[in-house]
């Protein structure tokens, strides 16, 4: 959970970084959009039932690592995007502790459970 909270903070930092570091153009647009998405999906991934949303944060981190080089950002924006992208991807890759399992997905519809009789556990 702590890593999700750090990813939320990194997303907020990305949205503010262009004002703090003073860069404009494509770098600013990219960081504001990706920062908002990263913070949003990190918030969603805090819950154990929606933890899979962390993979979206992972992909956004990978994009940030290459965005500065692909889109030709200035040096400070490229360095910021690369470092924040590396941190986002690294923290999103860590699964965390699983306390409970939720549902069974679609496969629960066709898998039989030998310990159930008429829908009640015995």
Given a cut of 70, the residues of the chain with pLDDT beneath it are 96-122
Q: Give the closest residue to 16 by CA, choosing from 35, 37, 42.
A: 35
Residue 37 token pair: 């998405």
pLDDT at 93: 83
**Radius of gyration, CA atoms only, the chain:** 19
User: What is residue 114's three-state secondary structure?
Assistant: coil
Q: What is the rounded CA–CA span in Å between residue 30 and residue 23? A: 11
The whole model's pTM is what? 0.76
* Dihedral sign of CA atoms 84, 85, 90, 91 in order: positive
Residue linked to tokens 């962390």 = 54
pLDDT digits (tens, 9 = 90+) for 14-38: 999 999 998 899 999 999 999 999 9
Per cent of the chain over pLDDT 90 is 57
């Amino acid at each position: 959970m702590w890593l999700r909270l750090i990813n939320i903070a990194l997303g907020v930092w990305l949205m503010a970084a262009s004002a703090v570091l003073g860069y404009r153009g494509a770098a600013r647009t990219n960081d504001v959009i990706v920062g908002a998405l990263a913070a949003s999906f990190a918030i969603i991934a805090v819950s154990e039932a929606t933890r899979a949303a962390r993979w979206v944060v992972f992909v956004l981190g990978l994009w940030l690592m290459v965005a500065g080089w692909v889109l030709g950002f200035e040096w400070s924006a490229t360095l910021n995007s690369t470092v924040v992208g590396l941190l986002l991807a690294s923290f999103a890759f860590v699964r965390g502790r699983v306390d409970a399992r939720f549902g069974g997905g679609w496969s629960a519809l066709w898998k039989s459970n030998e310990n159930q009789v008429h829908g009640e556990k015995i």
